[in-house]
Each structure stands twice: as C-alpha cells, then as structure tokens.
Structure 1
Amino acid sequence: MFVQLLCTVLVIINLCDDVSAAGRPRHIVFIVADDLGWNDIGFHNPDIITPNIDKLAREGLLLNHHYVQPLCSPSRAAFMSGYYPFKTGLQHSVILENQPVCLPLNITILPQKLKELGYATHIVGKWHNGFCSWNCTPTYRGFDSFFGYYGAMEDYYTHVIRGFLDYRNNTTPVWTDNGTYSTLRFTDVATDIIERHNQSQPLFLYLAYQAVYGPIEVPAKYEAMYPNIKSENRRKFSGMVSALDEAVGNVTKTLRQRGLMDDTLILFTADNGGGVDESGNNYPLRGSKFTVYEGGTRAVGFMYGSGLQKTGTVFDGMIHAVDWLPTLTAAAGGTPVSDRDGINLWPSLSTASPSPRTEVVYNYDSHPQPVQGHAAIRVGDYKLIDGYPGPFPDWYKPEQVTSSLNTRFSRDSANQYQLFNLKDDPNERNDLSNFRPDMVKKLAARLAWYKKQAVPPNFPETPDDLSNPALYGNVWSPGWC
C-alpha cells in the first residue's frame, strides 16, 4: 500500500514512471499484427469477431492517430530504430530475401536499449529487418532468443517461401513444424517464454505475428465463424483475424496465470494498413497498404496495462512508429532518448495528456519508381501528398475485389500535389490543393527540409546469387554479405 501511494505521488513529478504498481520494473509485450486494416478489427467493425483484443483496447488506451509506414520492413525498422526509414535507406519497398540489405548496424535498436536496463529480450515471429549477415539477425541485435522467420512472408503451414524454408529457433533451422499453423505455433512459443520467465527480471517480448498477411490460410474452424461473408478470401481473412484474437487472448491469459499481468504494459499495433488486394480492409479510410493515404498508414493500435493512469479512453494525439523506441525506453525506466526522429511520448500516454508530436512524415522516396508512395507529410491538421500516392487510391468496402491496376494516379505524377484537412476530412475526399496554395507552399517547404536529411534508397535491383538457399541446405540463411 505504501509503495503504491508513493508511486502515485512520484508519478506526478515523473519520477516513478519506470516501475509498476508493485514497485518493480514493468514488463513490456509489443504485439505486431501484419497487414491488419483499420476495418479489420472488432472495435472498428462489429462484423469482425475479436473479443479479446476489443476488451484490451476498450479497457486500455485506444491510439486513434497512430501512424506507421505503408509497408512492413520500413515500419519494423522504425519500431526498432526510432528513425524515419528515409534516413536508414529503407524507404523504397521491403527487404527482399535475396538483397544484401539490413537495418544499419551502427544503430542501437530497441532490444539493445532494453537489455542495457536489465531486460530479458525475446522475439517471436517476423523479423524482416534483413538477414544477409548474421550480424543483421535478431540474436546479434539485442534479443536473447528468436523463434520465427527472417523474411516478408511464407506459407503458414510449411513455413516455406519461394520453395525454401525460412523458419528458425534462434539460429537453427526448424524442419519439424511442417503442418503447424504459425499463429498457433508462435503463441505456444510466446506463452512458454512467459511461463519460464524469471519474475525478478523485467521481460520484453516482441511478438510479431505473421497474421494476417498473405497467403490467405486459416484452420476451418475460424473460417466457419463467418458464414455470412460471401467472398471466400474475405471469409478466410476474417477467420485469420479471429485466430489472431484467440492467440492474443492466450498470451494475456498466461500473463495472468503467472501473476505478471498487473506489472505488464502491452502495445498492440498493425505494421501498415490492410492490403485491399489481399482481402484486408481500411474503410472508411482512403487507400491501402502501399499508399501514403490514411488507409495505408493510420494503424490500428492501443496500449493496455501498467503505467497507464487514465484508461478506457481514446488518445487523439499524433504518434508515429519512430516514437516507440524512446517511449518504451522511458516506460522501462531508461534515460529519455532525444537524438532520433522518435519522441518520448510516455509522459503523454501514461497520463492521456496531449501529444507533443505536431507533424509526421509518411514517406520520402527518391527512387524513380516509388512503390509505397513518393512523399507525404502532416503538420497539424493538414496533410500534403507530393506526387505518386501509391497504387490503391479509392475507398474500398470489405468484399470489394481490387487489383493493383485500380489507380487514377500514374507514377509520372511527380509534380502533382494533394492537400487535405484531416480534422474536417479524415477520409481524404476533398483535395484543397487548388484552394490553399499557401498551405501547399508551407508543407512543401517542410517536406523539402526533410528531403535534405534523406539518404538514397538501399534497394539493389539485381538479386545477389550468393543468397541462393540451395547453398545453405535449402534454407534462407545469413552469411553472404
């Protein structure tokens, strides 16, 4: 009782934010859902069955303006590094399995920061920050253990991509899980880590699910939860979301059984918007994964648990993926990180007070053929898109079948601006660029300031022959760059 009272007093003067109510360093569980759209979750869409996630979001802090990158490698690099991807060379597309590319090794990333604070650090699931060198891989970059895969995607059951295995326990290939659905397997590994964890040490668990990225595969019992959905792919996709929800419920159940839940801070986020060509959905937001519209970049997200003083509420302040390194480091009791693009939002999130972030850069890509939108910035309520916004520019309803050809903007639209007031027009239906040239000029100047800080995209066009898995026992493997 005395410790709780003392912490309550000290939080007011920001001296006790690094401990749980029990006076111990808090555990942190960082859950990433792959390609989960704005309209793919129960608390935004009652047709989707996600009771476990909905309960956490409803009883926690719902992040209403949480931004990520339009694709997965860039977002994951931002989570880990605290830098915008256009400063690490990862702004163009995703890291391909045969490219000698990884998140730059001279950056101290999130698990390394937390290890310095005494945390046990574990990653389960998707890495996708590069693996051509062992030094690029998770257990060489601050994680005590790794179970999952290095690349972008793979079969949920065989764990094979392009004919070769990408599935490891630490550094050892795992051949024995053929036929095991990855959402269930990753949950088993995560709950085992929680069950075996020494409670005297703070835990950082980065749980990066494969779900709900393609291929669209799910056990039949989850698909059967959606008999009213006519589209087979959307029905299966929705089942994948419900399998993910059950997985999250099993993780939180294990935390409670181990007596860790009251001392745990949970962060849940998508890595980008849903892919409308892969049955994901972001309605009523505009666009899709790949685009710098809100549908590609405004992510489903919430926090729950230890240190949040005002729960059951919505946080409307701006947040970007780059903010999680300084924010979680601060929540863990570390010295505030102030030398990166990310901002320490823990004082704001822990008290549900206004965010100090006033602008977000969605992307800046100088490659002549931008994949995930050329450039965009938000300052206050206004958002400017410069040039090509990405291949899916419309407003797509859940069962609407879409192809990448459905675009009204060509890749040659380099000089075309779009301007939106997101406060009045969150779904980006009214382009104000012809009516507010003053605002276009202001935001373009700000974007040009960031352009000066950008490094060239690190995206080799020619595959490296040394990456061939046939050279490594038919497994996608490090050691060739």
Structure 2
Amino acid sequence: MLPALLKQAGYQTHIVGKYVTSPCCLHCSNRLATRHTLWASKSLHHAACTAQTGWLPDTHCGQVSHFTMLPALLKQAGYQTHIVGKWHLGMCNWEYTPTYRGFDSFYGYYNAYEDYYTHAANGGYDFRDDTSVFRDPSNEYFNYLLTERTVQLVEKLDTSTPLFLYLPYHLCHGPLQVPAKYENMYSDIQNSSRRIYCGMVSMMDESFGNITQALDSRGLLDNTLLVFTTDNGGPVQYGANNWPLRGGKGTFWEGGTRGVAFVWSKNLLSRTGYTNNEMMHAVDWYPTILHMAGLQPGSSIDGVNQWDMLSNNGPSQRDEFVYNIDTIPNSTAIRYKDYKLLTGNPGQFNDWYPVPQSVSSANLTSTDTQGRVEWKPQLYNIRNDPEERHDLAESDHQTLQMMLGRLQDWIKSGVTPQNAQVDPRGDPKRWGGVWTPGWC
C-alpha cells in the first residue's frame, strides 16, 4: 500500500542494496545492537552495555547516558521530536527513557516481546504515554493504537516547525499475533508462522500508508525524507525468510545482519528510482540525518555521512565495519572491503532456510553449538559469495591473517562490556505489576 501511494503521488524510491545492521535489536546474548548504533552512532564494541540475561528488562543496561542522542541534537536545532512504538534502550533509570533523551513525546513501550493485545511481557505491563502508564481497557491490537496516535500527532503538528518522527513499530516482532483479516489474506500458506508473519507485514504496510496519507494531507511530504530501515535480519523460527542468505536474526551471517533500507522524497533526492549497492551500516544514519538538518555530529562517532550515496547514487564513505565483537565468549565478525571474518560461535541458526512450506516450523534445524570446544576462524568473500557457502580460511591464508590483524586493531579500540545482571529491584511485582523506571 505505501509504495503504491507514493508512486501515485509522483514519489520515487531509492533502495540501499548492501545495507548492514546488527544481528539483533537490543539485547542478543551478550551484545548491544542496532538501536544503540542508530541513536548514538556507536558500534557495539565502542558502547557495550550488555545483559547476561538476554532481553530481560530488569537489568541496569541502558543507552550510555553521556552519549548525546540524535533526537536531542535535533531538538536543540529547533525540531519537534516524537517517538511512537518500541524504545528498548534501557529503562531502569528515568534518564534512560525517551523524554529524557531528546524526545518531546513518547507513546509506546520500553522493552520487547510485548503481547499485542494485553501489552504485557515477562510478568509486567509495559505501555506508556510519555512517562505515565497508559491503560488500554479494550486490549486493542497494539498496532491500531500506535497508528491512531501517530495520525493524531500529525494532524496536530505545528507545520511551521521542522519534524523528526520515529516510528519503531512492534510489527513484525514476536510474539506472532495479528487480527484475523490480515492472516486470512494468506490463507493459501500452510505454515501458520509464515501465514501470520505475512499478515503482520501487510498490516505494517497499511499502517505506514495511512500515516503517509496523513502527512500528505498536511502538506508535509514535499519537504520530507521518509526512511525505512529494518533493525536486523528476519527470525527464521518465527516465519521470516532470508533466503538465499545464510542464517537469521541473532546470527552474524548475512541472513542475520543484511537488512532492508530505502528512502523516499519528492524533492530532496538528486537521483531516484534506483538501487545503490554500496556499503552502508545502520550506524551511518546518525551523521547522515544530522547533515540533512545542517548539523555536525562531532568526531567521536563510528558512523559516516552517506548523504551523497543516498541522494545521488554516489560512492560509499566506508569500506569496513564491525558486525560484532564480544571477547568474553570470543564471538566476533568484521568486514573489510569484500571480505568477512568470523571467529567463535556465529549464532543459533547457521544453515540456509528456504521459505517455509510445511504446516509447522518445527523442522527448522538449530545448529547452535555452545558446547563446541573450538570454532575455527571463517573467511568469506561477500561480493563473490554473498550466501557464505565457501569458507576461504584454509585456501587464502594471507587474507585470513590480514583480517585477524584488523580484528585485533578493532578489539584494542573497544570498551569493556558492563555485563548487567538481573536486579530484583526491577521486578514489576514491586511496582504494581508494571515495568517501571527509577530503581537504579
């Protein structure tokens, strides 16, 4: 729906073909991921707040408070800044939460895996309107509420003031839930997880279309850049599909880290209607968006300004990046030009998974091998072998040693992870059954 609406209105799409994110959205094993890189332009190993409990929110983990986040800089420059949807950047202290980090308003949830109807996760209710708990007596599907609030926000905007609007929807995240009319659009798909997932994608598309129409009705699209980005590869165990790429969300394979990103604008792009196959990382959005706003990001960031690549099909400003560096279990992955190096355990799903056809997803093969004594380094030429089927570590010893040397340089520049532990003070039972900041 959204691409069709934009095309009818004369808008063109620019697709980023080789766009890389992190393997997960925030806590993923012992890693901090895409949301951190997007908002502070810091690679994981330069801003490591980890959680040994996975994604559980009752830890001290949060976006490091001394980093100035993107919305704070935009707000200082006179922008209205709003977030509707998922935060997932820490909430044990109020200073970690959205309206303390540069957003004028927040309507959504702090954590992840919320039930789409009850708005609860892991034993606690999690739905906020700014800093207040928002109670939904109707238990309406989450995405209806998020879209409704966004349209209302657009209708009330002061159009004389520039806008930064961030919409990290719960779709298409687990748990797999969607109203029946969207699932029924794919009744020909036997696999229930895939059928629901496809319905969730269609609902997300419809929601963005409705928001785009609201922006257009206020005359805002003529001077707006719309950015769509995923935050990681698709979770193959929940109906997503990354074929023919290897792996999925939570792994360092291309299926877990190669993302989807595209931009739309009527007047701000010098060239439109093309796919750019240059290298871009999620960390690059921070300086790129600041450049568009006429701001400078400072020198202590990992991202680079990619506006020429996005707007004019120009060359990328980077030739390397870090997928992940976690020296505690020795799980690392880096990219330099065409080559990708992996050491240690790359994640749970290490195979190639075609679109699920069977009734159940139970036939997925998990090859998580935490018990292996040793993982040998693996080397791939991603340009020639994007599916990562041909390990070059044995045949190209010179390149392997070069990449191992670059990895050591990256490790030396990193910071020590905080390794946050579960704190019983964060238990929602202590806070009226609600996930609540203010205890760390």
What band does the TM-score fall into relative to the shorter chain? Answer: over 0.9
Change (3 A) 1:403 1:79: farther
* Letter matched to residue 18 of structure 2: H
CA contact (8 A) 1:387 1:413 kept: no
Q: Deviations over 1:377-419 (max 9, x none)?
A: 1111111111211111111012162578621754546551111
| SS class of match (1:303) | strand
Larger deviation, residues 414-423 vs 278-287: 414-423
CA contact (8 A) 2:276 2:309 kept: no
Q: 1:72 aligns with which of 2, 25, 33?
A: 25
Q: CA deviation at 1:336?
A: 4.8
1:467 aligns with 2:409: no
Distance, in Å, in 1 between the alignment partners of 2:333 and 2:50 is 12
* Counterpart in the other structure of 1:365: 326
Larger deviation, residues 410-419 vs 135-144: 410-419
Larger deviation, residues 127-136 vs 278-287: 278-287
1:227 aligns with 2:187: yes
Question: How many correspondences in the alignment?
Answer: 426
Q: 2:148 aligns with which of 173, 188, 196?
A: 188
CA contact (8 A) 2:51 2:420 kept: no
Distance, in Å, in 2 between the alignment partners of 1:298 and 1:446 is 21
Distance, in Å, in 2 between the alignment partners of 1:272 and 1:248 is 19
Where do residues 71-470 of structure 1 align in structure 2 (5 Å cutoff)?
A: 71-73=24-26, 74-90=33-49, 95-176=55-136, 178-305=138-265, 306-368=267-329, 374-399=331-356, 401=361, 406-407=366-367, 409-410=369-370, 412=372, 414-461=374-421, 463-470=422-429
Distance, in Å, in 2 between the alignment partners of 1:395 and 1:458 is 34
Distance, in Å, in 2 between the alignment partners of 1:72 and 1:403 is 25
CA contact (8 A) 1:92 1:367 kept: no
Distance, in Å, in 2 between the alignment partners of 1:106 and 1:241 is 36
* Counterpart in the other structure of 1:23: none
Q: CA deviation at 1:458?
A: 2.5
Distance, in Å, in 2 between the alignment partners of 1:349 and 1:269 is 13
Query: What TM-score comes out, normalization by structure 2 length?
Result: 0.93
Q: CA deviation at 1:246?
A: 0.3
| SS class of match (1:212) | coil
Query: What TM-score comes out, normalization by structure 1 length?
Result: 0.85
Q: CA deviation at 1:331?
A: 1.0
* Letter matched to residue 427 of structure 2: N
Q: Deviations over 1:207-252 (max 9, x none)?
A: 0000111111000110011021001121111101100010111111
Change (3 A) 1:206 1:275: same
Q: CA deviation at 1:96?
A: 2.3
* Counterpart in the other structure of 2:438: 479
The two structures, once aligned, show a CA RMSD in angstroms of 1.9
Q: CA deviation at 1:53?
A: 4.3
CA contact (8 A) 1:337 1:344 kept: no
Change (3 A) 1:408 1:115: closer
1:63 aligns with 2:16: yes
Q: CA deviation at 1:338?
A: 3.4
Q: Deviations over 1:313-362 (max 9, x none)?
A: 01111111111111101011112543210111113222110111101210
* Counterpart in the other structure of 2:29: none
CA contact (8 A) 1:95 1:101 kept: no
| SS class of match (1:316) | strand
Q: Deviations over 1:261-312 (max 9, x none)?
A: 1111111111111111111111111101010000000101111115211110
Provide structure 2 residue ranges, at least 5 long, that are not aligned to the other structure. Answer: 27-32
